[in-house]
Amino acid sequence: MLRILLERIRQGHRTIGFPSTPPTLPDRFRGAPVIDASKCPDGCRVCIDACPTTAISTDDKGLKLDLGRCLFCTDCVEACPADAIHYSNVFSLASRSRDDLVVRGEVTKRAAALDAKMKRLLGRSLKLRQVSAAGCNACEADVNVLNTVVFDLSRFGIQFVASPRHADGILVTGPVSGNMKEALKITYDAVPEPKIVIAVGACAISGGPYAGHPEQNDGCGGSVPVDLYIPGCPPHPITILDGLLRLLGRIEGVTVPPRSP
């Protein structure tokens, strides 16, 4: 027992200081993609053709990128001959609106907080039922890690519960397969009002790499109303935590950490 106590003292405090202090992210971290349209040659479609999920497209205003479809795979970066696209270290990507996930240039809009009534009800105690709707377990793993001592999700009053009847909302991962569509709807209906829905990852938002396949439903938006979108494939735990705290009004403004040395 003494050795255990001494080792605990040696290890010290392991929980990160976020959101009070910016998180430390690795150099290889892929945050929000940034498009510099001024570098794009006229008529060039290389990045559009390279994107495996049609996340990049163009219109009369130029290039636009749908974070809800983006896999953060770097195919567009590697294909672009003009270095017009790069990944930043901006981890704050969550949005309340599906339309706000479509960006030109840099990501500028962050998730807004719930209205005053919902913040009063859920701001200090939020219970979520997690629904894996045919996910690959990547988003599920990054959601689960929020319960570890490093992130300690419960210190914000946010916990995952076993039954939707004990929940304030559901957190959905996966593209919602045909077999899971009814199960998702049943789970949603079992959550008492008022309730919220959080879509985590490209699959839950748009179907991800499976978009258009007849055996899935292109995410959860067609089955249940979504209150918060957290893009990524999978989103980093900090991105998920940042989105949850913004939804509850615990973070405002823009937080960008310095690159790790």
Please, what are the domains in the chain?
116-247 (3.40.50.12280)
| Amino acid 254: pLDDT | 60
User: Which of the four pLDDT bands, split at 50, 70 and 90, describes residue 187?
Assistant: very high
Among 17, 100, 88, 90, residue whose Cα is nearest residue 255: 90
User: Which of the four pLDDT bands, split at 50, 70 and 90, describes residue 260?
Assistant: very low
Residues 232 and 93 sit within 8 Å (Cβ to Cβ): yes
Amino acid at 20: S
In 73-118, beta strands by DSSP E = 85-87, 102-103
User: Which of the four pLDDT bands, split at 50, 70 and 90, describes residue 256?
Assistant: low
153 burial type by CB count under 10 A (0-12 exposed, 13-18 middle, 19+ buried): buried
User: How far is C-alpha 78 from the geometric centre of its chain's CA atoms?
Assistant: 24
CA 200 – CA 60 distance, rounded (Å): 31
| SS3 assignment, position 200 | strand
Instruction: Please provide residue 106's backbone torsions phi and psi, each rounded to the nearest 5 degrees.
Output: -105, 160
Residue 36, number of CB atoms within 10 A of its CB: 15
Q: What is the CA radius of gyration of the chain?
A: 19
Look up the pTM and report it: 0.92
Using the predicted structure, report yes or no on whether residue 160 has a pLDDT greater than 50: yes
CA 224 – CA 127 distance, rounded (Å): 18
pLDDT tens digits for range 168-185: 999 999 999 999 999 999
How much of the chain, in percent, has pLDDT values that exceed 90? 79
Using the predicted structure, report yes or no on whether residue 50 has a pLDDT greater than 50: yes
Using the predicted structure, report yes or no on whether residue 110 has a pLDDT greater than 60: yes
CA 156 – CA 145 distance, rounded (Å): 15
| Amino acid 258: pLDDT | 47
Using the predicted structure, report yes or no on whether residue 43 has a pLDDT greater than 90: no
Among 133, 137, 157, residue whose Cα is nearest residue 145: 137
Using the predicted structure, report yes or no on whether residue 80 has a pLDDT greater than 80: yes
Place of tokens 């130029």: 62
The strand pairing partners of 95, in sequence order, are 229
The DSSP result for 98-119, as a single string, is: SGGGEESSS----PPPPPHHHH
Instruction: Please provide residue 245's backbone torsions phi and psi, each rounded to the nearest 5 degrees.
Output: -70, -35
User: How far is C-alpha 259 from the geometric centre of its chain's CA atoms?
Assistant: 20
| Amino acid 259: pLDDT | 47
For the segment 243-258, the average pLDDT, to the nearest whole number, is 79
For the segment 31-55, the average pLDDT, to the nearest whole number, is 90
| Amino acid 255: pLDDT | 57
